[in-house]
Chains A and B, each alone.
Chain A
């Protein structure tokens, strides 16, 4: 790793480091204490959070969430301890710790929540903290791009998931997982089942990086190595797996579920294993093996038998143990030698014996070699496959076989080749890592061995309860290291043989894959860039169309929108019905005259190209309006209108003396498009008025003012009382507005003499 920053010396990362190590460690011990209790009966507690929306803050601690909680806190402790040395002297280490702890809390909340909406909230917390952690080296363009890509892909999936949650919540009538699980049959037979399923899977597949949404995960390796070990291998990317496991009792056990999960999972597993062999950067190898694990887990959950679910839960633990150890190990190698290139690294075993031991334990588990727990896990997967029927059996076994054989190869690339043979030339001289960084991988490796030798320990307390939580009640699970001579064992042996052969020729294979990749037109990562470019081009096109900088265009768009929205709503809602009762009968001749005056004035303003005629037209309209006010019993309003109208005419005339004539062209050219828009707005307003006037009038507010005007405010002119008493603050605001307008106008006109070129005004 290139250390291109100014180091800040901190012992074990300083206070931030201490807090970050102690926090998960304490939680880990706490969850361990609950383990025997949860293995018997799940714990369910909660309280109302937003009762009006049915959101509860509730905790469900069953075998599944316990498994995840232990992984999050246990591996979390190893990773924070590791980071305190790996990044402890980085200037932004405290910031890193904040992100990491935020993630930890979000992930714990996600697995412990019993409410789907709070699951979603925590889901997004992990998305955002993952974004911040991938982009931790924000001065590098690659980091920023990868971070944004991860955020957009998983964020889009998250929003789809939210839609799915809301639909499911409506169907089930509750957002509590414990309540929804009880209604599995109802939901599976509901017409919305398919939509719910697809929306949930969109969330799960993006988060857990299934093909075709896988491309963000290898890019996420731009994050510091502890982050890759923790988020993008052991915990966060398994949130999608968690969701599918959680929802298995509700959405599972249907043909769609079975085939979608097994096919996408299987394809992801095999595709990722092949791609893993292709990589030369060991961290990328590990990233693709993580994809393989996620694919396998998806496939097993899809298969859905008790064996398959147990195998999935077992593999979940197995994978987290060995993969976190391997990532941390490669971080040590990188830290020590300055490279992660599989072609350069070799013979490190002598210089870094402890790292080599940790790597060996983890890689043996990944390759599935006894007596490591990885072997137990692989046996179980084969048993799960053998337990299926027909085509499904062949599919699951074939996918498992291919992926496992390739994992064997990947294990060799990651942990055999770098440590054996002749010492390679590396940028720095290899040396053993510090204890803080070795502790995690060694303990995890030791656990892989322990659980391999004592698989029932794992089965009874963790995998068994987890499988019960996902599958439902079932007889106890017994895990064996040695299950006798059976089909699974023979498959395992065949896997080793195939893996060994592939390892021997893996460098040739890599060359072949590189050539194939170069000629392959389907590139998801480049496709992503094209998608983003397309979005940007669309935005640019749309901006140029609507916001071209012309005031005319803006006004036209605004008015057209008004017509479509208001007019359209009225059309669809049938709100014109009330207008039918109105008629033009009983109109006094004076009223006819006043209305005609207004219309003539308005048309005059529009028609004329003389400024003075326009001003006169405006005056006519204003006076006509004030005549309407006086006709319909509003003397105060009429007087004000008249005064203001006079002021307007005076003011406009004054300014007119200084401004140019109205250009003839713009006056005489009839603008048909604008006329249509103008006519449309006018028509909408007319119909709006008609439907308002045709509907019933609610006089309560008016009656209140009429009743309380004199007794409460001692005024006989109700309009005045409203203005100065009931709505006095409004009037005060009005005065303020007029004053502000006057001050602003003064400010505008003040310096005008100095800055103007004169003689322009004709």
Chain B
């Protein structure tokens, strides 16, 4: 399973990078969403995969009995998911606002900060 998951993550990353190389900022944004999913999977899988043993402690016990899933990456991924959502929401607002102000979603046409130099 680890092998297949690694390959899947690779494909996910490849598609997101391809999207992020587009000059349409909307597609860039889609790439960002895919990439944050891929990164979450990377963090999660790096803590090793365990089937059917959530990191919970039974009633009355002081510590889990027997091996359970690694809790630490789960906590990290939880944080990452929420932050990723915040990032996406903000970026979406930014794209929307940019389109309203500049009338384009093509990053090559957004040149207020870096105007095209006069051709020599």
Contact = CB atoms under 8 A, between A and B. Distances in A.
Please determine whether chains A and B interact with each other in the same assembly: yes
A605 B30 contact: yes
Contacts of A595: 4-5, 8
A359 B24 CA distance: 77
Contacts of A699: 70
B70 A602 contact: no
A693 B2 contact: yes
B51 A632 contact: yes
B9 A605 contact: no
Interface in A728-745: 730-731, 734, 737-738, 740-742, 744-745
A761 B18 CA distance: 26
Interface in B44-62: 44-59, 61-62
Interface in B1-56: 1-28, 30, 33-34, 37-38, 40-42, 44-56
Given A586-B1, A730-B79, A686 B10 contact: yes
A633 B7 contact: no
Contacts of A622: 33, 37
Given A599-B8, A605-B30, A659 B99 contact: yes
Contacts of B88: 648, 651
Interface string B55-87: 111110111100011111011011101111111
Contact of A681 (B17, B23, B24, B74): B17
The 4 residue pairs across chains A and B that have the minimum distance between CB atoms: A682-B14, A686-B10, A633-B69, A745-B93
Contacts of A629: 44, 77
Given A682-B11, A683-B10, A706-B55, A719 B33 contact: no
A679 B96 CA distance: 30
B23 A551 contact: yes
Given A682-B11, A702-B72, A757-B103, A636 B21 contact: no
Contacts of B62: 710-711
Interface in B77-120: 77-79, 81-90, 92-97, 99-101, 103, 105, 107-108, 111, 114, 116
A694 B78 CA distance: 25
A587 B1 contact: yes
Contacts of A606: 15, 18-19
Interface of B: 1-28, 30, 33-34, 37-38, 40-42, 44-59, 61-64, 68-72, 74-75, 77-79, 81-90, 92-97, 99-101, 103, 105, 107-108, 111, 114, 116
Nearest to B108: A550
Interface residues of A, number: 101
6 contacts: A584-B3, A595-B4, A599-B11, A689-B46, A742-B89, A755-B100
A622 B40 CA distance: 11
B24 A666 contact: yes
B76 to A, nearest CB: 9
Contact of B51 (A599, A631, A651, A757): A631
Contact of B3 (A555, A583, A705, A760): A583
Contact of B34 (A605, A633, A651, A658): A605
B44 A681 contact: no
Contact of A748 (B21, B53, B97): B97
Given A603-B15, A633-B51, 20 more contacts: A591-B4, A602-B16, A618-B30, A632-B49, A637-B74, A644-B82, A648-B33, A660-B99, A666-B22, A666-B24, A682-B17, A686-B10, A689-B42, A693-B48, A709-B57, A719-B75, A719-B78, A738-B86, A744-B93, A748-B94
A755 B93 CA distance: 15
Nearest to B25: A551
A651 B92 contact: yes
A212 interface: no
Interface in A568-592: 582-584, 586-587, 591-592
B3 A633 contact: no
A655 interface: yes
A557 to B, nearest CB: 11
Given A621-B37, A637-B77, A719-B71, A690 B24 contact: no
A621 B12 CA distance: 9
A677 B81 contact: no
Contacts of A635: 54
B71 A705 contact: yes
A323 to B, nearest CB: 51
B119 to A, nearest CB: 12
A716 B48 contact: no
A629 to B, nearest CB: 7
Interface in A185-238: none
A375 B41 CA distance: 84
A710 B14 CA distance: 42
Contact of A555 (B20, B34, B97): B20
A692 interface: yes
A551 B107 contact: yes
A722 to B, nearest CB: 4
Nearest to A690: B6
Nearest to B77: A637
B57 A685 contact: no
Of B17, B52, B57, most A-chain CB atoms within 10 Å: B17
Interface string A629-660: 10111111100110010011001100100111
Given A647-B85, A655-B95, A678 B107 contact: no
Interface of A: 549-552, 555-556, 559, 582-584, 586-587, 591-592, 595, 598-599, 602-603, 605-606, 611, 614, 618, 621-622, 625, 628-629, 631-637, 640-641, 644, 647-648, 651-652, 655, 658-660, 662-663, 666, 671, 674-675, 677-679, 681-683, 685-686, 688-690, 692-693, 697, 699, 701-702, 705-707, 709-711, 716-719, 722-723, 727, 730-731, 734, 737-738, 740-742, 744-745, 748-749, 752, 755-757, 760-761
A749 B97 contact: yes
B82 A640 contact: yes
B54 A674 contact: no
Given A636-B78, A644-B81, A702-B47, A685 B71 contact: no
A678 B71 contact: no
A334 to B, nearest CB: 47
B21 to A, nearest CB: 4
Contacts of A741: 86-87, 89-90
B14 A633 contact: no
A761 B4 CA distance: 42
B30 A614 contact: yes
A77 to B, nearest CB: 56
Contact of B13 (A592, A671, A681, A737): A681
A689 B9 contact: yes
B9 A752 contact: no
Contact of A674 (B18, B46, B58, B75): B18
B71 A549 contact: no
A678 B6 contact: no
A685 B20 contact: no
A602 B21 contact: no
Contacts of B20: 555
Contacts of A686: 6-7, 9-10
A659 B1 CA distance: 40
Contacts of A677: 17, 21
A671 B96 contact: no
A710 B33 CA distance: 36
B103 to A, nearest CB: 5
B9 A678 contact: no
A220 to B, nearest CB: 37
Contact of A682 (B10, B21, B59): B10
Contacts of B52: 633
- Residue among B19, B20, B101 having the largest count of chain A Cβ atoms under 10 Å: B20
A80 to B, nearest CB: 51
Nearest to A730: B79
Contacts of B33: 618, 622, 648
Given A625-B37, A723-B79, A748 B93 contact: yes
A606 B27 CA distance: 8
